[in-house]
Amino acid sequence: MLAELRELWRFRELLIILIQRDLKLRYRNSVLGFGWSLVNPLVQVLTITLVMKLFLKVEIANYHAYLFCAMLPWLFFNSTLLDSSLSMVEAERLIRRVYFPREVLPLSRVIANLIHFGAATAVFLVYMCVMPLAWWAIQGRLDWPLQGTTLLLPVVMVIELFLVAGLSLWVAVANLYFEDTRYIVDNLLRVIYWLVPVIYFADMLKSQDLGPLPAEWAYRLYLLNPLAMLITAFRKLTMPPLGDLGQTGITGEDVALLCVATVVSIGVGVLGYAWFNKRKWGLAERP
């Protein structure tokens, strides 16, 4: 694996070129361009917020901000896996003719989406800083929502990068051999969306009656899913606590579960890279 990483480093300029290409082609000839990376989650957030507030009568202060915060890591996960599933198929003719480390194809999609993730997060944080100042100027009262732990968000983003990169490498090569993979992944993502705390809060499990399973154990088992823990950590590090039915602040238990998610994510990244390297040189012989 170290030899493969050294080879990848030799072709780093190709990786950079592919990242630039992915960033340029995604919104080519569109009016908003890069702005669509912000419009897409914003539309989803507004739609869900209206449904929750008007029809389901969910009374959570600033629910849209908590929803947008969780939507950012979810969209990075969702968009990257979908993009990576097509990365090898779209470059099949190039793979047959030119030598280069094949992993640069899915990894370029991963890093391009990471850049969009970082930009969207930066815009969200600016919004969360500007709005309290605007209300302070109007009403004379300052309610600062961002936590000091927001500075730790890059750590969570790097952990998720390992998880997403490992899964993307697996999906990319699997789809080249079995093209139904991308459709399976698309449908799995629709299910996973409801199994991770995007539109709801993981802490709600602590107050639910789940039969023979104690609520505390249900909470821990739920957050053994690394994606669920990363989304929870991303939101808890950024947004203030809401109370028993919302979200609590980051706790020692959350830190322990985040450590588990870190180990799992790094393991997925390493195993995904190893499996990809084992199969990548057979891609040119694919019928």
Count CB-CB contacts under 10 A for residue 82: 17
Q: Any idea where the domains of the chain sit in the sequence? A: 32-285
pLDDT of residue 32: 65
Are 103 and 280 spatial neighbours (Cβ–Cβ below 8 Å)? yes
pLDDT of residue 33: 65
pLDDT of residue 127: 83
- List the pLDDT tens digit at each of the 287 positions of the chain: 888 889 999 999 999 999 998 888 777 766 666 666 677 777 877 888 788 777 767 777 778 888 889 999 999 999 999 999 988 888 878 887 888 888 999 999 999 999 989 988 988 888 888 877 776 677 766 677 788 889 999 999 999 999 999 999 999 988 888 888 889 999 999 999 999 999 888 888 877 766 677 777 888 889 999 999 999 999 999 988 876 556 778 888 899 999 999 999 999 999 999 999 888 776 655 54
Fill in the amino acid letter for 160: E
Instruction: Take residue 255 and report the two structure tokens written for it.
Output: 């830190």
Fill in the amino acid letter for 109: R
Cα–Cα distance for residue pair 282/118, rounded to 1 Å: 35
pLDDT of residue 157: 97
pLDDT of residue 255: 93
DSSP class of residue 84 equals H
Are 3 and 92 spatial neighbours (Cβ–Cβ below 8 Å)? no
Cα–Cα distance for residue pair 44/243, rounded to 1 Å: 25
Cα–Cα distance for residue pair 227/229, rounded to 1 Å: 5
Fill in the amino acid letter for 76: F
